[in-house]
Homo-oligomer: A and B are copies of this chain.
Amino acid sequence: MLLKSNPKKDFISTQEWPEEELQNLINLTEDVKKNPKKYNNSLMGKALCMFFYNPSTRTRNSTEVAAYQLGMHPTFNSIKDSWIGYNSESIKDTAHVLARYYDAIGIRIFPVSVNWIYKEGNRILREFASHARIPIINFEDDLYHPLQALTDIYTIKEKFHTPKNKKIVISWAYHPKPLPLSVPNSILLISTRFGMDVTLTHPKHFELDEEIINMARHNAEESGGSLTISNNIEESYEGADVVYIKSWGSCEFYGDPREEKKLRLPYKESWRIKEKYLEYTQTNSIVMHCLPIRRNIVADDEVIDGPHSIVYDQAENRLYTIKALLYYLLKESK
């Protein structure tokens, strides 16, 4: 693979990356997984700043291990121990300064940390990016989780050789809280990008943002895939190769959990993903979920632990994706 002498490049959403580069990332992920030793200490001397406004298991730990294997030093900064968390320093100054010490900055920021002001988390990431002369990596904001998307499309490719024209059902599920939109947005955008036949299914009131839907429609046209939206869960699962389970909150009452709950509660039973729904899918279908998952509330144990489930493989692949991304962003061309 040919790596260009990179100018600073941010990874804030997959949507703004050209397909060729995403393809390069996927191929690199595959190579990183197959030939780990080849990348050992390849980024020796470089350091990664990790900035978490919110909790993390997979993102933080996969990144710590990936950075270490590449020879990098990862520094975990909780917002609680930082001046930004105390409103004492502007993002501009923090970004400028950290960029003097580090080679990249990864940031996680959820809606709860921006008072559910729609897209404010993403805006903060872009503000970081506009000031830092080093790459900003989105560790999940309130709009996108591109590392998850990259992992997901890589995992689908790994299981089916190619995502092209495989049927994926992106299935809403019940959850006691209104969860962010980052993961459904991201899987929708990446799956339509890579030519999959996508069915998005959810109850009424749980439509994704029209702007995202429009991007996904455009993606599907470009890639030779398709996008269908349906409120009928059972029909939607019909013939699926990939079942992608994820809960999200209603945009209608974004940031208003009390009102939102009234919309969600009626679907507690019918949209808890059950084993029988999988009978509509292909016999070799795979069940994906980004985790964490509330068992027997979002989906039954029989689904998560059943023969279709590949959720742990999917989580493991997070390690290879972030390794590939760091290498791609930071390795100087030879």
Which chain A residues have a beta carbon within 8 Å of chain B's beta carbons?
40, 45, 47, 49, 52, 55-58, 60-62, 64-65, 68-69, 73, 75-78, 80-86, 88-90, 93-94, 96-98, 100-102, 291-295, 304, 311-312, 315-316, 319
Q: Verify A293–B78 contact, CB threshold 8 A.
A: no
In the complex, what residues of B have CB within 8 A of residue A62's CB?
101
A32 to chain B, nearest CB (A): 14
Given the known A-B contacts A61-B49, A64-B73, A100-B312, are A292 and B93 also in contact in the complex, defined by CB atoms under 8 Å?
yes
Given the known A-B contacts A75-B65, A81-B52, are A58 and B291 also in contact in the complex, defined by CB atoms under 8 Å?
no
Query: Whose C-beta in chain B lies nearest to the C-beta of A75?
Result: B64
Q: Verify B61–A81 contact, CB threshold 8 A.
A: no
Given the known A-B contacts A52-B81, A85-B55, A96-B312, are A65 and B293 also in contact in the complex, defined by CB atoms under 8 Å?
no
A87 to chain B, nearest CB (A): 9
A86 to B55 CA separation, bound complex (whole angstroms): 9
Query: Whose C-beta in chain B lies nearest to the C-beta of A85?
Result: B55
A64 to B93 CA separation, bound complex (whole angstroms): 19
A247 to B282 CA separation, bound complex (whole angstroms): 61
Tell me the number of copies of this protein. 3
A65 to B102 CA separation, bound complex (whole angstroms): 7
Q: Verify A57–B82 contact, CB threshold 8 A.
A: yes
Q: Verify A88–B294 contact, CB threshold 8 A.
A: yes
In the complex, what residues of B have CB within 8 A of residue A69's CB?
45, 47
In the complex, what residues of B have CB within 8 A of residue A85's CB?
55
Q: Verify B60–A97 contact, CB threshold 8 A.
A: no
Q: Verify B57–A89 contact, CB threshold 8 A.
A: yes
A16 to B293 CA separation, bound complex (whole angstroms): 34
A77 to B304 CA separation, bound complex (whole angstroms): 25
A65 to B84 CA separation, bound complex (whole angstroms): 20
In the complex, what residues of B have CB within 8 A of residue A293's CB?
89, 93
In the complex, what residues of B have CB within 8 A of residue A88's CB?
55, 292, 294
In the complex, what residues of B have CB within 8 A of residue A49's CB?
61
A315 to B99 CA separation, bound complex (whole angstroms): 11
A-B pairs with lowest CB-CB distance, top 8? A89-B292, A68-B73, A100-B316, A64-B75, A97-B315, A83-B292, A65-B101, A88-B292
A273 to chain B, nearest CB (A): 15
A78 to chain B, nearest CB (A): 6
| Residue from A65, A68, A76, A89 having most chain B Cβ neighbours under 10 A | A65
In the complex, what residues of B have CB within 8 A of residue A311's CB?
93
